[in-house]
Structures are given as structure tokens and as C-alpha cells.
Amino acid sequence: MSTIIDEYLNNVKSNLRMEAPAENEVLTELYTHIEDEFQELKNNGLMDDEAASTCIRFLGSAKTVARLIYEAHSQGSWRQALMASLPHLLFGLIFLLNWWQGIGPVLITLIAILSITVYGWWHKKSTWLFPWLGYSLLPVVIAGLSMLYLPRGFAWLAIVVYLPMALWLIFRVVSQTIKKDWVYISLMLLPMPVIISWFIVTEWRYGVNMDSIMSVSYQSWIGASFMALACGVISFVRIRRRWLKVTVLFMTGIITLALIYFYTWGQLSFVNLLLLILLLVSIFLVPAMLENGVRSGKWGKIFEHRPMSR
Amino acid sequence: MSDKRDLLKSNIDSLLLCLITGQPMYGYQIIKELENRSHGYFKFKEGTLYPALHRLEKNGLIEGKWQILDNGQQRKYYHITEMGYAKLAEKRSHWNEYFNAMNLIIQAD
């Protein structure tokens, strides 16, 4: 038909933020609608350009249409909300019920998380998968933190081997996730500032050795911080509006960091606190910038940017 | 004008379910049918139709099926489901109660 209609549909597409098959269905449906309306207007005597702009005017703002369609699809069921919050709930319970000192419950939980993540990834269960993905990256983060304590010489060797593998794995996960919506990367990475915070607190108080870690007495605070993450994720899944989803996620991060800071009562150094807040902000800013780069075509080839198809 | 828009907004689900009960319809057809049957009273902001249809579909009240026409065009036809019939019956009942109650007050003078 005309470039004005292509432009309109491209605007709708860039604001939809849905899975590719669903997105293509929406665009096809809108295109068909425009085709029918365009033909009727032309039959009534309008010129091509006038008919095209009238079609667009009747439909309304592309951004609004995309937002409303997004909101019609964005709310997950209570079951999906519970599934998404489950890894946080499991870790929360491990600490609240004091099971973390036994290797059995921790190992079972990690195996369950990895198994369910693989299942969810394989079956493309994207509604609840992302928090599970975040925890399956946990061994990568722990391995990285552990390398800080390796003897000299080994640390450099381990980092040279570890860093490329870790970055490749994270890149693979992110490149799949960015196709849907950057906010799911933030959802996935949300526990990281919390886990790193507790690691710093434990190292400051007890040092990093098994005997001292076993004598940790603040497990209920750790459990509470994971429960706060679980509540945030349930709200995220149930909320329709995107800006509200982002806000809830960010506030969940702030609340859990505040919980940790309150527990340590200013004894967590200012530099550490600042770095943790920067880390929290970066898990929102960096994915948003990445997605912006993909959509503007700067990193299109790397992240397999999809051209519009009908 | 805004009262009319609010009325349409709050009854949009009932209107769509009613229309689709008669026969499966696609989006553009729904808009035209709504305008014709209401003698021009209900004029949809067309961009709001598809979010409403998708919401009804997500809630299981209608079901969309794609058909490929002879000219190669693809159209998504919406059918009402069993759950949709039940919901429509419920909404009709509420509407009749509301309508009767309003008449008692408004037409009392």
C-alpha cells in the first residue's frame, strides 16, 4: 500500500514487545484491517495517500495501540506468577528454615533449578523462565567470586579461562532474552546484587572459610531478602502495565538492598553500598541500552534483529 | 460525548460477545456491524478493538482462527466459546436488571 502504513506498522512493532509468533499475528491482523479499510475508502473516491492517512487516523496512535495490545497479553496467571517466584521462595525457605547448613537441601535445590531451567528453555516457557535462568547463572557468579581467593598465579590463569566462558554463557542467554524485552534480562539478573551483597557482608564479618560461614547467624535476614524478591516477581508477573512492571522490579531491588544495609547498619562501607546500587541500576540500564542498540540496528547482526515480516 | 465513550468502554466485552454469537467475524467486519446495528451510535476507535478482542481471547471467551482467502489474504475470524456463552448470559442478565432499575427511576417522572 504505502510507506505511511509501513511506518505505522513498524511503530506498532517496535512498541509491542511480544514473542515473535504472537507479534507477527498482531501485525498481520492490523495489516489486513488496514487493507480492508483502505479498499473501502478508495471505493468511496479517496486517493491512495488520503485513504492511507485516513486508515491510520481511524486506528489511532501506533504507540497506544501497541501498548493496549501488550497489556492485553502481559498479565501472567497466578500459576505463572508462582512458578516465576519459586526459585526465590526456595532459597528463602532454605535460609529461613535453616536448611542451608546441610549440603543435601542446597544441592537438591540447585539441581532442581538447573533441571527446570533446561526444561523451561527447551519448551520456550518464557513467562516464568527468567528468574530460573538467573539462578542457573549463579554457579558462574560464585565461581567468579571464588577466584578472588585463589593463590597467586592460579587466579590469573583461572580468570583467563573463566572469563571468556562466563561471558559467552551470559551473552548467549542475553541474546535470546533481548529478542523479547530488555526488562526480562533485569528480572533474570535481579538476585545478583542481593547475593553479592550477602557475600560481601559474610566476608566482612566472618571471612571466607567453611567454619566461619557455618556460624552465620543472620540467615533469617537472608531468607527475608529472598522472600522480598519473590513478592516482587509475583507482582511483576501479575501487573499489566509495562512501566509499572519496571518500577516494581526496581523497587524490589532497592528494598532488598535497604534490608541488607539496615541489617549491617552502616557497617557495609559506603563504597560497597555505592557499587551495589550501581550494579542494581546497571542491570536495568545496560539491557535497555542493548535493546535500543538492537532496535536501531547498531548491533542488529550480532543479536539477529528481525526485519518486519507479515 | 464522554458519557457515551464511557458507556461503550464499560460494555465493550458484552457488545463483542453478542456480535460474535451470531456468526464468526473478523475485526473490520465487527466494527462495521457494530456501527450498522447501532445505527451509528457506537463508533469504535478502531485501534481499541484488537486489544479488546485479544483480551477476550486470552480469557477464553472467544477463539481466533486464521483463514486464508482465495486472494491470499489472511483473516483472523473470532468464534465464541462455551465460556463466552456463559459469560454473555451473565452479562445479559446484569444488563436487564440494570436497564429495568434505571427505567423505574428515569421514567418515573
Quick: pLDDT tens for A37-61.
999 999 999 999 999 999 999 999 9
pLDDT at A309: 38
pLDDT at A156: 67
The beta-carbon neighbor of B46 closest among A35, A59, A73 is A59
A129/A123 Cα distance (integer angstroms): 10
Q: How much is the average pLDDT of A66-88?
A: 93
The H or E element containing residue B76 is strand B74-80
Q: Inter-chain contact A65–B26, Cβ cutoff 8 Å?
A: no
Q: Which residues of A touch B66 (CB under 8 A)?
A: 25
ipTM: 0.89
Search chain B and give the residue with CA nearest A22: B54
A contact set with B (CB within 8 A): 25-26, 28-30, 32-33, 35-37, 58-61, 64-65, 68-69, 71-73
A269/A261 Cα distance (integer angstroms): 10
Lookup result for grid cell 511480544: A18
Going along chain B from its start, the domains and CATH numbers come out as 2-106 (1.10.10.10)
Hey, is A208 helix, strand or coil?
coil
Q: Which residues of B touch A61 (CB under 8 A)?
A: 47
Q: Which residues of B touch A35 (CB under 8 A)?
A: 73
pLDDT, tens only, A141-153: 777 766 666 666 6
Q: What percent of chain A has pLDDT over 90?
A: 36
Nearest of A124, A266, A280 to residue A196 by alpha carbon: A280
- Amino acid at the residue A19: E
Q: How much is the average pLDDT of A4-17?
A: 91
pLDDT at A100: 73
pTM of the model: 0.84
Q: Inter-chain contact A69–B27, Cβ cutoff 8 Å?
A: no
A37/A56 Cα distance (integer angstroms): 10
A93/A109 Cα distance (integer angstroms): 11
Among A18, A28, A33, most B C-beta atoms within 10 A, so best to mutate, is A33
Handedness of CA A23, A25, A28, A33 (dihedral sign): negative
Chain centroid, CA A78 distance in Å: 19
Among B76, B77, B78, most A C-beta atoms within 10 A, so best to mutate, is B76
Nearest of A6, A60, A25, A58 to residue B78 by alpha carbon: A25
The beta-carbon neighbor of A68 closest among B26, B28, B48 is B48
Residue A295 has pLDDT above 80, yes or no: no
A122/A215 Cα distance (integer angstroms): 40
In this structure, are strands B62-68 and B74-80 parallel, antiparallel, or unpaired? antiparallel
Lookup result for grid cell 527446570: A116
Q: How confident is the model at residue A173 (pLDDT cuts 50, 70, 90)?
A: confident
Across A168-284, the runs of DSSP E, i.e. the strands, are: none
